[in-house]
Amino acid sequence: MNEKYIARSSAVAARQLGGEMIIMSAADSTLFSLNETATVIWQAADGKTPLSDIVQLHVCQEFDVEPEQAYRDAVELAGELARHGILLLSDEPVSDAPLESVKRS
């Protein structure tokens, strides 16, 4: 199995509201609302942690799901979000989005 890496796109606007992540695509101003599971994956998408680890460390820890099914769902979700330009999906680690470095510690 090839590892997958995911990183949040710097092109979108995003904010957590009541447990869900609200995201607006800069490309076409489409508004998305991620459910709690997808929000956990989005927040953990640092470009460095393999998706399988994200599922293991975050999704399976927080939700009562079977790991293999959770991973398949996560890959599908990541692909879907990548098609909308919300996530970057790669077989290699993804370097930090340029805007992330602007934030102060």
Partner 1 sequence: MSLMAALNQKALSHGVPISVHLDVTYRCNERCEHCYLDHDGDGEMTTAQILNLLDQLAAAGVFFLTISGGEPLVRRDCFEIIEYTRALRFNVKLKTNAVLIREREARRLRELNVEQVQISVYSHRAEVHDGISKLPGSLNRTLAGIRLLRAHGLKVTLANVLMKSNLHDSEGVRRLAAEVGAHYTLDPTITPMMSGDTSVLRLRLPSSSLRSVFQNPDLVGDVAEFCAPPPPLDDDTLEGLPCSAGHTACYVSPCGELYPCVQFPISCGNVREQRFLDIWRNSPQLLEVRSIRGKDLTTCSSCNHLGTCTRCPGLAFMEGNMRGPSSADCEKSFVRTGIVSAGMLARASATSPAPSGLVQIRPFAV
* Among candidate residues 20, 41, 40, 19, the one with its CA nearest the CA of residue 31: 20
100 part of the interface to partner 1, by CB under 8 A = yes
Query: 15 vs 64, which CB is nearer to partner 1?
Result: 15
61 part of the interface to partner 1, by CB under 8 A = no
In the numeric block, which tokens belong to residue 68? 């293999």
Q: Which of 1, 61, 64, 104 binds partner 1 (CB under 8 A)?
A: 104
Instruction: Report the DSSP pairing between strands 46-50 and 87-90.
Output: unpaired
Site for partner 1 in 65-84 (CB under 8 A): none
Q: Rounded to the nearest 10 degrees, how much is the dihedral formed by the CA atoms of 10, 20, 47, 25?
A: -30
31 part of the interface to partner 1, by CB under 8 A = yes
Q: Which of 29, 61, 64, 105 binds partner 1 (CB under 8 A)?
A: 29
